[in-house]
Amino acid sequence: MVGLNPAQKRAVEHQNGPLLVLAGAGSGKTRVITQRMVRMMERGVPASTIVALTFTNKAAAEMGERVAKLLGKNKAGAKGLTISTFHSFGLHVLTREKRAQNQAFTIFDQGDALGTVKEILRNIDAGKRFDVPAIMSRISNAKNAFLLPEELPDDGVDPYNEITKIVYPRYQAALRTYSAYDFDDLVCEVVRVWQSRPDVLARWQEKVRYLLVDEYQDTNRAQLMMLRLLAEPHRNICVVGDDDQAIYGWRGADVRNILEFEEHFTGAEVVKLEQNYRSKQAILDVANAVIGKRVGVRHKKHLFSERVGDEKITVASAPTPEAEASYVVREISRWIRDEKKQPRDLSVLYRSNSQAKLIEESLRSEGIAYRIVGGQQFFERKEVKDVLSYLKLALNRSDEISLRRIMNYPARGIGDTSVERLALHAQAKGWTLWQGIERVDAFDDISEPARQGCKQLERIVGDLRRKILVEQVRASEVASFLCQQIGLRQEIDSSSPTPQAAAKRWGNVEGLMGTLTRREAKVGTEQANDLANFLHALTLDFGKEEDAEPNAVTLSTLHGAKGLEFEIVYLIGCEEGFLPHARTLEDRATDAPALPDDGSNSAKAADIEEERRLFYVGVTRARDFLTLSRCKNRAMRGKPVPRTPSRFLMDLPPERIVEIEVRDEPTMGTKAGLEKANALLAMLEGLGQ
């Protein structure tokens, strides 16, 4: 346990019974979790009885790497150790239980779920009146709160709540028809299986005797129920989190879970990690001052650091958004040019994606590379999803979402009219859509091209099934075979607007092949041939296989920046209406999940307190230098409108900040500034002649 401070040692040495580790920003929580797992194994706890849960595959992978490094030559001692996300663990449980019953199932990704809701709205003649993602958000929040369709509240006022009450049960029925689960079901269905089958629950309780949970403040009610059921007999549960960083209430996270941990698990020991290893003390003083004004129940912590320095936090006021963007990019250019910083050392954070536009334009004009966190991810790209849909359909022919996606791709004569006729015939007969395709000759109103197209698709899918299930060909070879059979390369070349676009799209397909090949090299033959598990795992990544991280300035929303850190941070738009967001200053957004009563007078106040925590998260991303900027005016309907500084700026300690006024001037000393200056000189010389 070399390198641990006293509080960290106490958390690592604790073994039996419930433990709450309150880990402030940058306090080394991952170090504590991983060393705690290693310490338990050193004491003789079988690795197979330990399960560590977190929220992202990246975090799970980092934990696994750290554990392996700590174990060194004793890596075999970690055999059977489970480190995964909640959803991956839920999938593991469901797969084990469903296989025991010889039942196959599909996992819906976000696109599948939205497509199903859209289809339901069309069927009830409400497709154009409602926003599909807003309805899906309500369904997801209901599942996170562990509410069945019939348990949704009926306020009789909000039309979106009313339509959700109609759509939700139909959506669940569609999932059952497709033999599918969505992401939220991977937790909810596990809880329901355990509640209805005490024998199954007892088997998992015997298997999992030690639970560790990361980012506990982000758990929802369904996840809490899963944890309480699993930990009930042995009560060996250690959770690590920080209620000051609870920023996901809008997607169902319930901060009460961490605030009430000692009520849910009586006799819990509490350890506070307050020493920060990331930021200089000036940054922490600002963070402590803002979060110290938080209203309501809170686990109080005071972050401190041994990293000292004279640098103050800059608070910049710009006359316009254009001047703010120009100032920020001018400073970024100076850091790179004069201070020799790498672009990857710098970040610009903001509350809403719309705020990034001017920063992007300024960075492009200066020739500075940047990346945006949260863009379209690899497994969401069309050509990649098309290949995966064929493979999913080969494994589960009831997967109507995948079937509809590739039924006529590449084009094989099955138009929309033929698809709908086939669907109606299948529905009338009580068949799946695939069974309708298999019996296409029984229907007189299907055109001959569509009939031949169905037979061609049936042959392709049949060949894929044989290779996967009978011949047990590796997934990469199956995918390559598929691309040849359907002529995917030719289809991409002919349908792309330019050769460059075609090359990029085909590169994405080759990237998928590379992913499959790397996985096959990494796992054993038996696992490599388990294509169903691989496809489930891809879906659970939420499409987040990032491209190689470039040496570029990072642009990110505050939510997207959680878990990241940078040497230099610019937090822009520190104004009322942006931070806190305008929605929290008005009546509660109707699609927001229920928030806890944290001691404030209203739900709106609770929303604003989540915005305060979001500001705190942004501040604590900075290691060495932090700038907070705002605009004095923003244009609305073509007219300048005065802006009010964020209330959070009012809480900053005066001795730790320096305030500056930004002038509305061209970017001088950089590429764009030099071009402007040269143009001006040329114009003056022309006038002189």
Query: Which residue type, as a one-letter code, is found at position 408?
Result: N
Token representation of residue 485: 């059979």
Query: Which residue type, as a one-letter code, is found at position 99?
Result: R
Contact 339, 679 (CB under 8 A): no
Alpha-carbon distance of 220 to 146, in angstroms, equals 9
Contact 307, 26 (CB under 8 A): no
Alpha-carbon distance of 584 to 87, in angstroms, equals 30
**Is 503 annotated to bind ligand?**
no
The three-point CA angle 458-464-470 to 5° equals 120
Closest of 104, 195, 102 to residue 148, by C-alpha: 195
**Is 362 annotated to bind ligand?**
no
Contact 193, 93 (CB under 8 A): yes
3-state secondary structure of 568: strand
3-state secondary structure of 242: coil
Contact 88, 63 (CB under 8 A): no
Cβ atoms within 10 Å of 99's Cβ, excluding its own: 11
Query: Which residue in the block uniquely carries the two structure tokens 């990241």?
Result: 564
Closest of 267, 47, 93, 299 to residue 187, by C-alpha: 93
Query: Which residue type, as a one-letter code, is found at position 650?
Result: M
DSSP 370: E
Residues forming the active site: 29-30, 214-215, 245, 621
Query: Which residue in the block uniquely carries the two structure tokens 């001692």?
Result: 77
**Is 28 annotated to bind ligand?**
yes
**Is 26 annotated to bind ligand?**
yes
Token representation of residue 115: 């497509």
**Is 25 annotated to bind ligand?**
yes
**Is 30 annotated to bind ligand?**
yes
C-alpha 655: how far from its chain's center? 37
**Is 23 annotated to bind ligand?**
yes
Q: Which positions ≥6 away from 274 have C-beta within 8 Å?
A: 7, 24, 27, 301, 302, 303, 304
C-alpha 385: how far from its chain's center? 18
Annotated binding-site residue numbers for ATP: 23-30
Annotated binding-site residue numbers: 23-30
